[in-house]
């Protein structure tokens, strides 16, 4: 179903709206992320279009005049794809297709496509395929069919070509088939999780590309695929880790992103169950990213959606080696100090101060502060372990070389 074919460097334009909810700076940040997503999907963003509007135009997302500018640019520069930084409604998609003679993708579609490219196991592929079908169903139109047959590449992998030509009923049948398949797999996964017994479970969670897999590799000496691209990890890896005398299970799983398509949250239910059933969350944050606070917010929102916001959580600020900040010259009396100028110490005095012991600063790549990290995880796991196995307290006793307790 999902095609393996890789399309390299498809030229794309990115389109966003600057609105009352999203100022110019935010829009630029979102477009940076959209550009990274495009790159990850195998495309190359050659131009950005943004327009100030009270809210996105319900008919064509951006205004008719601006859309005309995009059309001209696409025609003159031989652009194959236009990517909108939000989910387009089926009606918007149809109207835009009437104007732009190229492939039209939205943020959801792009993320789904990356997931489709990256899904390795049949389980992940089934989950992605279900999400793609659910996205596709309300958008099945003749025009779309016609276009999708002409153009391959990003956004066109996955269910599509053949099903679209027939009708919605077939996609619906496909959806129920995939759902059934997933129910079977979900059951198997639930049994697998049960078989792991009562061992304490710790899950690495966080925005995509923050270094979860890298940290997993350092802590568990395993070899999980890590890469400077979005959504390097789609499947869940579980490893048994022992710190001092306490064994626990550490899970590395799919990264989160702003506006993670709801279809994906639903169909990745079982993958996210690993997070839902964890006793402790290690929320990894890339502190070298300009907008790491927004990332934390997005992750918390998704944790809330999967009923996991109240779990014991340690914030792990990673990539301290790459952290930079702007400086203000001593004789510069005009520039106001903003977050851009904060040093790590400044940051530690902000809301982070309230986290108390529940945060740690590390560099997974340089293995900086890893002893403190291990100690912190040990302390937290121990708390849960004591509650679960109250008679096992000899475990926590440490001994010196002579076998004396210390």
Ligand X SMILES: Nc1nc2c(ncn2[C@@H]2O[C@H](COP(=O)(O)OP(=O)(O)OP(=O)(O)O)[C@@H](O)[C@H]2O)c(=O)[nH]1
Q: How far is the CB of 297 from Mg ion (least distance, A)?
A: 20
Taking the CA atoms of residue 198, residue 204, residue 205 and residue 206 in that order, the dihedral angle to the nearest 10 degrees is 170
Stretch touching ligand X by CB under 6 A, among 92-100, 132-140, 221-229, 274-282? 221-229
How many residues make up the chain in this entry? 406
Strands (E), 2-65: 10-18, 43-52
Q: How far is the CB of 298 from ligand X (least distance, A)?
A: 13
Binding site annotation covers 45? no
Q: How far is the CB of 211 from ligand X (least distance, A)?
A: 3
**228 near ligand X, rule: CB under 6 A:** yes
Binding mask 316-335 for ligand X (x = CB under 6 A): --xx-xx-------------
**208 near Mg ion, rule: CB under 5 A:** no
* The only residue of 116, 119, 171, 226 in contact with ligand X, by rule CB under 6 A: 226
Q: Determine the Cα–Cα distance for residues 49 and 66; give it in Å rounded to an integer.
A: 8
3-class secondary-structure state, position 109: helix
Residue pair 177/256 in contact by the 8 Å Cβ criterion: no
Q: Determine the Cα–Cα distance for residues 120 and 308; give it in Å rounded to an integer.
A: 26
Q: Determine the Cα–Cα distance for residues 124 and 363; give it in Å rounded to an integer.
A: 30
Q: How far is the CB of 361 from ligand X (least distance, A)?
A: 10
Binding site annotation covers 160? no
Backbone angles phi, psi at 88, to 5 degrees: -85, 140
Helix (H) or strand (E) segment spanning residue 242 = strand 237-243
Nearest in space to 139 (alpha carbons), one of 158, 170, 164: 164
* The only residue of 60, 109, 117, 233 in contact with Mg ion, by rule CB under 5 A: 233
DSSP conformation class of 155:
T
**Angle of the 107-118 helix axis to the 24-41 helix axis, nearest 10:** 30
Binding site annotation covers 262? no
Which residue lies nearer to ligand X by CB, 221 or 402? 221
Which residue lies nearer to ligand X by CB, 43 or 255? 255
β-strand partners of 51: 17
The residue sitting closest to Mg ion, measured at its beta carbon, is 233
Tokens of 174: 């496909």
Binding site annotation covers 234? yes
* The only residue of 108, 109, 213, 308 in contact with ligand X, by rule CB under 6 A: 213
Binding site annotation covers 320? yes
**By CB under 6 A, what part of segment 363-382 binds ligand X?**
363-365
β-strand partners of 16: 50
**232 near Mg ion, rule: CB under 5 A:** yes
Q: How far is the CB of 294 from ligand X (least distance, A)?
A: 16
**255 near ligand X, rule: CB under 6 A:** yes
Q: How far is the CB of 255 from Mg ion (least distance, A)?
A: 6
Binding site annotation covers 298? no
Q: How far is the CB of 203 from ligand X (least distance, A)?
A: 13
**By CB under 6 A, what part of segment 170-209 binds ligand X?**
206, 208-209
Binding site annotation covers 210? yes
Q: How far is the CB of 314 from Mg ion (least distance, A)?
A: 18
Which residue lies nearer to ligand X by CB, 233 or 251? 233
Distance set, CA 321 to CA 39, 179, 261, 324, 362 (Å): 25, 44, 32, 9, 8
Tokens of 231: 């959504």
Residue pair 307/276 in contact by the 8 Å Cβ criterion: yes
The residue sitting closest to ligand X, measured at its beta carbon, is 255
Q: What is the DSSP string of 345-356?
A: HHHHTTGGGGGT
Burial class for 59, CB neighbours closer than 10 Å (0-12, 13-18, 19+)? middle
Q: Determine the Cα–Cα distance for residues 363 and 357; give it in Å rounded to an integer.
A: 18
**213 near Mg ion, rule: CB under 5 A:** yes
Stretch touching Mg ion by CB under 5 A, among 89-97, 156-164, 224-232, 377-385? 224-232
Binding site for ligand X (CB under 6 A): 206, 208-214, 226-228, 230-233, 255, 318-319, 321-322, 363-365
Binding residues for Mg ion, rule: CB under 5 A, are 212-213, 232-233
Binding residues: 206-213, 231-235, 252-255, 318-321
């Amino acid at each position: 179903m999902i095609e393996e074919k890789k399309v390299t460097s498809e030229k794309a334009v990115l389109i966003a709206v600057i609105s009352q909810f999203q100022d110019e700076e935010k829009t630029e940040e979102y477009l940076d992320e959209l550009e990274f997503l495009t790159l990850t999907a195998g495309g190359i963003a050659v131009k950005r279009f943004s327009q100030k509007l009270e809210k996105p135009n319900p008919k064509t997302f951006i205004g008719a005049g601006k859309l005309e500018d995009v059309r001209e640019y696409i025609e003159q520069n031989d652009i194959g794809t236009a990517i909108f930084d939000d989910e387009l409604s089926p009606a918007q998609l149809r109207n835009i297709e009437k104007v732009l003679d190229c492939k039209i993708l939205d943020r959801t579609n792009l993320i789904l496509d990356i997931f489709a490219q990256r899904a390795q196991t049949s389980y992940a592929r089934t989950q992605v395929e279900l999400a793609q079908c659910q996205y596709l169903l309300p958008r099945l139109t003749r025009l779309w069919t016609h276009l999708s047959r002409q153009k391959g590449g990003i956004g066109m992998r996955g269910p599509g070509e053949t099903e679209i030509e027939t009708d919605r009923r077939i996609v619906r049948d496909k959806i129920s088939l995939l759902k059934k398949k997933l129910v079977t797999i979900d059951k198997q996964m639930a049994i697998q999780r049960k078989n792991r017994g009562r061992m304490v479970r710790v899950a690495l969670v966080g925005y995509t590309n923050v270094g979860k897999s890298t940290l997993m590799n350092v802590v568990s000496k395993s070899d999980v695929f890590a890469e400077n691209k979005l959504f390097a990890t789609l499947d869940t890896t579980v490893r048994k880790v022992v710190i001092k005398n306490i064994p626990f299970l550490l899970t590395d799983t799919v990264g989160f992103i702003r506006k993670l398509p709801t279809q994906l949250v639903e169909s990745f239910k079982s993958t996210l169950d690993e997070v839902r059933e964890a006793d402790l969350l290690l929320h990894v944050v890339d502190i070298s990213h300009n907008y790491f606070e927004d990332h934390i917010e997005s992750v918390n929102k998704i944790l809330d959606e999967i009923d996991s916001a109240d779990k014991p959580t340690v914030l792990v600020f990673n990539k301290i080696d790459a952290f930079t900040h702007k400086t203000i010259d001593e004789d510069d009396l005009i520039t106001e100090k903003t977050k851009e100028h904060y040093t790590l110490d400044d940051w530690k005095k902000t809301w982070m101060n309230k986290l108390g012991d529940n945060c740690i600063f590390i560099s997974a790549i340089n293995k900086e502060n890893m002893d403190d990290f291990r100690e912190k995880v040990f302390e937290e796991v121990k708390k849960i372990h004591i509650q679960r196995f109250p008679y096992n307290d000899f475990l926590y006793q440490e001994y010196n070389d002579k076998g004396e307790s210390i």
